Chain A
Amino acid sequence: MKRFKLVLAVMLCVLSCFFFLAGCGSDQGNGKDSGEDTEAGGVKYREELDVIIDNTKIAILDPHSPAAGTSSATWAFQMIYDTLVADLGDGQFGPDLATRWETEDWQHFTFHLRDDVYFHNGEKLTAADVVYTVERAKENPGSAGHDKLSIVESVQAVDEHTVEMTLQSVNVEFLYYISDSRASILNQKAIEADPEKGTWIGTGAWTVSDFASNEYVVLEANENYWGEIPKTKKMTLKYVAEESTRLMQLENGEAQVCFSINANDYDYVESQTDKFVTFPFTSNNNSYIAFNMNDPICGDLNFRKAVASAIDREEMVASAFNGYGEVNTLGTFWGFRTEFKNENIPIIPKDLEKAKEYLAQSNYNGETVEIVSAIPDLIKTAQIVQAQLAEIGINTTIKETDPPGISAYATYADNKAQMIVYVGGISLNAGSTKAYFYPYGSYNRASYKNDEVIALYDLAVSQADPAEREATYHKIQEIVAEDLPYINLMNTTFLVCCAKGVEGLKLSNLAYHDLTYMYMIEE
């Protein structure tokens, strides 16, 4: 009886609590944004767009900060700033702030700047700003901007609108580097006046009106932009930490675009075609298994081949990624869309008998091998790997950590891991793969070193002829495929989920999406 009373009391409490909440809510305003619309030629564009960015967050609005390496930061950079040249894809480059450029030897470059470009603070763009930008980037080691511009030996302004740059050595990928948003041109005067907020000043189509580190950046269309003026008037790029509320915000109109919906909700969003429109893109980044080449077990090629023959990639994509991913079909470890990919290297097929044979020839004698992993999806992948390896008799344990933990665990010089299941960034330029195969490469989690590969990489950057370069990179891939320090598993497919009517989004396999001209047609 007493218990019944208690239960009753509890239930009544919950009820009254919710009634109270509902009651107190009703006199508050509606939470939805009421962005007004711009009408042009019969088509109404929504004035304000709220964009939920991905988990990389925007720590700082300064392309030269070490914290500016994240993908979502590049979205803001592309909107706020301009670069000297524009990457048109497939190794082609077009004008941006520079109307034209000349180079004879891929070491000395001359850029001619536009004459009609003004920064957001009203200052006119001059060659001095370009010089300042390059020099500032070079002074900031560890920054993405430094990455792009540190190969510049010297830079000088020839006149108001002409800049000359000399590289430390020949580099055929230089245009690729300076088309990156983290090599954007900043304003000298603004930064010298306010070192912290001066970097918010660019020449781009959007101006910054508010920013909170790792939380949000509010952008407004730059009506004085030298190029095409965006149709949307205000855009907020915001980070929503709680995954489950992202879909809610999309549903109730607090956000029109979301880059980070939980993959479990993809099917639902795709089914709601009257409300949503989705844009898929497949990441250039590989999910992989890395082997510590210095480890007595993993350093044995037969062991690595045994693993390669035992795994089933289809199962990983299906169960760890809900089917949203591209299964790797080649034997090379190269980015999904990275240039000069060698399509002729065959994958090691799944063959348990073969796997057992390799294992029998290896140093492996029933030891327990540790797999290090981080991020939920990849930990799931690691668990699948674990189950699949158990089938051929390899015992493993999984150690879970977080991304900084992975970096700390497995560096080239000090590799404490045996196997790693993780995902790694690879750019579209072939040179970026160096990070995996070059000694002290920042992503060289296999501690892989092969003198032939080193020599080929050094050769490739100086080969101006694309055909020669292709041959060199193909050769590198063949050697690496033989050595097998990494097993390429898959490339994740992401769905950008948008309210119906959103268009103009330029997606990139590198997740360096261009949101500058994104708009939403209202019905």
Chain B
Amino acid sequence: MLRYVIRRLLWLIPVLLCVSLLIYVLMDLAPGTVIDSMITEQMTPEDIEKLRQEYDLDKPVIYRYVKYMWGFFHGDLGKSQVTGLSVWDSFISRFPATLKLSLVSVVFGAVLAIPIGIFAAQRAGTIWDNLTTGFTLIGTSMPSFWLGLLLLILFAYKIQLFPAGGYQGPSSYVLPAITSGLMMTAITARQTRSSMLEVLRADYLRTARAKGVPERLVIRRHALKNAWIPILTTIGMGLSRFLAGSAVIETVFSWPGIGRLTVEAVSQRDVTLACGCVIMTSILYVIILLIVDLLYAFVDPRIRGKYASGSRKRKVTA
């Protein structure tokens, strides 16, 4: 198990090298550099040249990249080129906002999605199933900025029930959480439905019913537990995507999180900050998917057995 975790974490290294190189090259290809947004009317050419040298802009992009990654592998995410503040501090100061919204969205999404998915699966082929399928179809295909704006117009403008943006108080979570959660609800509900449908046909549910297990326990204890893995995967993917900070949702709702930080960094050509954000979110992404993988073992003893077999041979009796 431990070896598995370490192997997965080692995979982070090439992943990080790739995403950071990608960021560096893409931002280098974009017109303009970080100092272009700093130039003021009173600057002399010498000032500008000094700035260029300070940011190594007179050297090739690969030099800056290697320099940055050298620092990174020595535990230094660097300093924002625009503000001069530590990238790590900037990231950490913004992370709580994104984390809180992500958790609320995931909980909202999952709490709604799993019952909906089970409901639809149990009534497969009926009008109820069609309704939920319709709902998931809308949920997955609706662009989130559009849904966000619709909700804003309805609940912040017409009814004035929730704030139109910002990050204070529980009420400010409602609209962004619904907007991001709904997409996740739709995807998770669909996954739950198909995964439950598969399980509902399984022989062991017939065994359970033949034992006289009440229907709700058949679903909860016997079916859901077997359907968990794909559902968990969807939820985990959703969470890691939220944690990377949804630029769209954070922009629509003025949410001061990682998504906004990254967008601003890119628009100001702040390569170190953008790269730091992307590296951190990649790390989070990989770690969350790893946790989900480890949760598989928790949910499914067969997988647990597979992890264990590496260290200890199980007796299999014929």
Contact = CB atoms under 8 A, between A and B. Distances in A.
A and B associate: yes
Interface of A: 5-6, 9-10, 12-14, 16-18, 21-22, 24-26, 28-32, 57, 59-60, 62, 65-67, 69, 141-144, 146-148, 150, 196, 212-216, 238-242, 244-245, 248-249, 251-254, 401-409, 412-413, 425-427, 432, 434-435, 439-443
Given A25-B174, A31-B161, A9 B37 contact: no
A404 B269 contact: yes
Nearest to A196: B85
25 contacts: A9-B131, A12-B131, A21-B154, A21-B178, A29-B171, A32-B163, A69-B40, A142-B35, A142-B54, A196-B85, A213-B90, A215-B260, A241-B250, A248-B156, A249-B164, A254-B163, A254-B164, A401-B32, A403-B37, A404-B30, A404-B31, A406-B32, A425-B41, A443-B39, A443-B41
Nearest to B97: A212
A212 B135 contact: no
B43 A442 contact: yes
A495 B83 CA distance: 30
A66 B35 contact: yes
Nearest to A20: B112
B134 A10 contact: yes
Contact of B156 (A5, A21, A238, A245): A245
A13 B37 contact: no
B50 A432 contact: no
A78 to B, nearest CB: 17
Interface string B97-130: 0000000000000000000000000000001001
Contacts of A426: 41
The 3 A-B residue pairs whose C-beta atoms are closest, nearest first, are A404-B32, A407-B36, A31-B163
A213 B154 contact: no
Contacts of A143: 38
**Interface centre among A59, A143, A242, A435, by most B CB within 10 Å?**
A242
Interface stretch (B6-14, B64-72, B231-239, B251-259): B251-259
B160 A252 contact: yes
Among A148, A253, A402, A427: residue with most chain B CB under 10 A: A402
A403 B269 CA distance: 11
Contact of B40 (A147, A213, A214): A147
A248 B152 contact: yes
Given A60-B83, A242-B254, A402-B32, A249 B165 contact: yes
Interface string B211-254: 00000000000000000000000000000000000000011111
A2 B152 CA distance: 34
Contact of B43 (A5, A142, A212): A142
Interface string B66-95: 000000000000000011111001100110
Interface in B42-64: 42-45, 47-48, 50-51, 54
Given A240-B165, A401-B31, A404-B36, 16 more contacts: A9-B130, A10-B134, A10-B138, A13-B131, A18-B154, A26-B161, A31-B171, A60-B83, A65-B84, A142-B35, A245-B165, A252-B164, A403-B36, A404-B267, A432-B41, A442-B43
B172 interface: yes
B32 A407 contact: yes
A435 B260 CA distance: 32
Interface in B141-197: 149, 151-157, 159-166, 169-172, 174, 178, 182
Nearest to B45: A440
A69 B134 CA distance: 51
Nearest to B83: A60
Interface of B: 30-45, 47-48, 50-51, 54, 82-86, 89-90, 93-94, 127, 130-135, 137-138, 149, 151-157, 159-166, 169-172, 174, 178, 182, 250-254, 256, 260-261, 263-264, 267-269
A32 B160 contact: yes
Nearest to B157: A248
A432 B260 CA distance: 33
A241 B254 contact: yes
Contacts of B264: 57, 59, 213-214
A252 B156 contact: yes
Contacts of A245: 149, 152, 156, 164-165, 252-254
Contacts of A144: 40
B114 to A, nearest CB: 16
Contacts of B134: 6, 9-10, 12-13
Contact of A10 (B82, B137, B156): B137
A214 B164 contact: no
A240 B256 CA distance: 10
B164 to A, nearest CB: 4
Given A25-B155, A69-B40, A14 B138 contact: yes
Given A59-B83, A442-B43, A442-B48, A67 B133 contact: no
A435 B172 contact: no
Given A6-B134, A407-B37, A241 B260 contact: yes
Given A9-B134, A59-B82, A402-B32, A251 B51 contact: no
Contacts of A409: 31
Given A65-B83, A240-B254, A31 B160 contact: yes
A150 B84 CA distance: 20
A406 B196 CA distance: 55
A148 B178 CA distance: 48
Contacts of A413: 45
A308 B318 CA distance: 95
A183 B275 CA distance: 32
A67 B164 contact: no
Nearest to B48: A442
B137 A407 contact: no
Contacts of B51: 66, 141-142
A17 B135 contact: yes
A51 B169 CA distance: 18
B32 A212 contact: no
A408 B52 CA distance: 13
A38 B24 CA distance: 52
Contacts of B44: 440
Contacts of B42: 147-148, 432, 434-435, 442
Contacts of A252: 156-157, 160, 163-164
A201 B131 CA distance: 59
A404 B29 CA distance: 12
Contacts of B166: 238, 254
Contact of A31 (B35, B149, B162, B252): B162
Contacts of A14: 138
Interface centre among B163, B172, B263 (most CB of A within 10 A): B163
B191 to A, nearest CB: 18
B82 A239 contact: no
A23 to B, nearest CB: 11
User: Which of B45, B254, B260 counts the most chain A CB atoms within 10 A?
Assistant: B254
Contacts of B171: 28-31
A400 B32 CA distance: 13
Contacts of B254: 215, 238-242, 245
